[in-house]
Amino acid sequence: MVENIPQVSEFGEGYHGFWTYNIYNINAHFGTADSLKALTDEVHRRGMYIMVDVVVNNVAVAGNASQINYAKDIMPPFNDKKYFHQPAVGIKFDDQWSVQNGWLAIEKVSLADLDTESQYVQDVWHKWVKDLVSTYNRM
């Protein structure tokens, strides 16, 4: 539901929610903040709930991992190299460290692996989730 990278790549367009670009904006493919509020209001009126699938372990970068400019290519609050594991490009699925810390990177789109052990990264996500719930839980 968050804004995905705006670039179209050989793999298509980031409409699916897994190429996170800006966690503070709604993905335009799914509507606006007001339309999400209207949806949650209607769902709650019918006695149901909304479940949001959140990707917290990476953000997407349009480009190769070896050429990332963190300040330019990644939106705040994670636009600094210190919030990421070092790019261990090319995950080796038989190596647990590589699976947990590597970047899934291809030439046109890289999934920059956030350092989820970082207190700052954890604090950002905790606050973001609380804000999300308080904004859209309008029962």
Are the CB atoms for 57 and 114 separated by under 8 Å? yes
Q: Which of helix, strand or coil describes residue 22?
A: strand
Average the pLDDT over each of 28-37, 48-57, 100-109 and give the range with the smallest value. 100-109
- Are 116 and 101 in contact by the 8 Å Cβ rule? The answer is no
Query: pTM of the predicted model, to two decimals?
Result: 0.85
CA–CA distance, 54 with 127 (Å, rounded to integer):
13
Mean pLDDT of 15-33: 88
Percent of the chain with pLDDT over 70: 91
Tell me the average pLDDT across 69-73: 91
Q: What is the dihedral of CA 65, 70, 9, 31, to 10 degrees?
A: 140
Per the model's pLDDT, the better-predicted residue between 25 and 8 turns out to be 25
Q: Residue 110: helix, strand or coil by DSSP? A: strand
Residue with the bigger pLDDT between 130 and 28: it is 130
pLDDT 10s digits, 103-136: 777 677 888 889 999 999 999 999 999 999 999 8
pLDDT for the residue 100: 75
pLDDT-wise least confident of 16-20, 30-34, 44-48, 122-126: 16-20
Q: What are the pLDDT digits (tens) for 72-95?
A: 989 999 999 999 988 766 677 788
Computed over every residue of the chain, the mean pLDDT equals 87
